[in-house]
Structure 1
């Protein structure tokens, strides 16, 4: 029987990682945003518009510089904050972003007109479930940050358009921890989201055609890599 770690273990290794002080450290010690992204972040917080959190921003910087994607698809534009971040981190990439909220579309268009300096971004207006089947391009990176209950609905179309070896990042999958609870403990108004996310996890986490990982950043990221040309989602 090995005694080393039982006798000399660092007990902090067994404690939850994302505590308030750790979250504060991640959000204040990593590289901060410069304008125009900083101004867009401030505007989003002022107007209560959900955007990706600073720890996810830092992760995206790293991930996109490593992956060097050439063609990016985003579902859920909002004001264009994450779109412009991806354009900044992957200056060689073409980016297609989809949104159906008219107010957000107007704000995003204005922001893209000002800040999309390399003309990388194409904004498509409408419901993603109608638009995805019309897209002909193949993508090597997809970011999904829209209606959480619809992730599982969008996923088959997204996978068809994702190149083998491509990556999907899906935001806000833990729902403040609701995902881990029995449905009876989830507020009735949130149960449609809960069911959709449970279906998403069931379809992906142990799928032999996918490599997946759950990351405890912000409200949780689901990372999906497409490993073969034909993917059957699990029921």
Structure 2
């Protein structure tokens, strides 16, 4: 944990409930041990969506569709979300959750390897939410920058890995060392890429907020 547990618990105690369906999907996901965005990250994302007002959203990593539905609910009316998932067991659950919410027309789920899907996408997006395999973020980044509208926002979740990212690679379990080194490389690139202005926020499991530099298209 990167923030004091008592502080996180207090912040959680202040949260207001979302729609009944979102609360239900969240509880179902937690019961099935499906990783979804944490409460404090949800709250932060809601505010970002109200500020940024993205109409075109791309999500890398659907899981069971919880975050896509959350973003759809807090982005401006008429928004469209494209979300990518390759884990076959979760895809039908996500599709069913979109159906339950009546959002099949607003949320498009693309099945397949995220990198291959990204390479074949055209157009641009106002906001990209990165929440897939953490060791692959560095490989997704060039395509994410290409697809992001100038002035658009790239939000990368779980970038501090419960604090492990600051440890020596030899202090991290051997099975996690590749992810550890790739995440450090990813964070360095976010901060040093001339196309991005990035802030790394120690919230939840770590968020990186990156704005693509350049004038926004009209």
Residue-by-residue CA offset, 1:186-213 (whole Å, 9 max, x unaligned): 1000011111101101211133331111
Aligned length: 213
User: Structure 1 residues 185 and 197, CA, compared in 2 at 3 Å: closer, same or farther?
Assistant: same
2:111 matched residue in structure 1: 125
Which of 1 and 2 has higher RCO (CA within 8 Å, sep 6+)?
A: 2
2:127 matched residue in structure 1: 141
Bigger radius of gyration among the two: 1
1:5 matched residue in structure 2: none
For residue 20 of structure 2, the aligned residue among 28, 35, 53 is 35
Residue 118 of structure 1: how far off its partner (Å): 7.3
Residue 60 of structure 1: how far off its partner (Å): 1.2
Contact 1:55 1:218 in 2 (8 A): yes
TM normalised by structure 1 equals: 0.87
In the TM superposition, what are the counterparts of 1:162-173 in structure 2 within 5 Å? Answer: 162-173=148-159
For residue 179 of structure 1, the aligned residue among 165, 169, 178 is 165
Residue-by-residue CA offset, 1:139-181 (whole Å, 9 max, x unaligned): 0100010100000000101100101001010010111111001
Contact 1:84 1:116 in 2 (8 A): no
For 1:158 and 1:82, how far apart are their aligned partners in 2?
18
* Structure 1 unmatched ranges of 5 or more: 1-16, 230-235
* Structure 2 unmatched ranges of 5 or more: none
User: Structure 1 residues 143 and 227, CA, compared in 2 at 3 Å: closer, same or farther?
Assistant: same
In the TM superposition, what are the counterparts of 1:53-202 in structure 2 within 5 Å? Answer: 53-90=38-75, 91-117=77-103, 119-202=105-188
TM normalised by structure 2 equals: 0.94
For 2:137 and 2:62, how far apart are their aligned partners in 1?
15
Contact 1:53 1:218 in 2 (8 A): yes
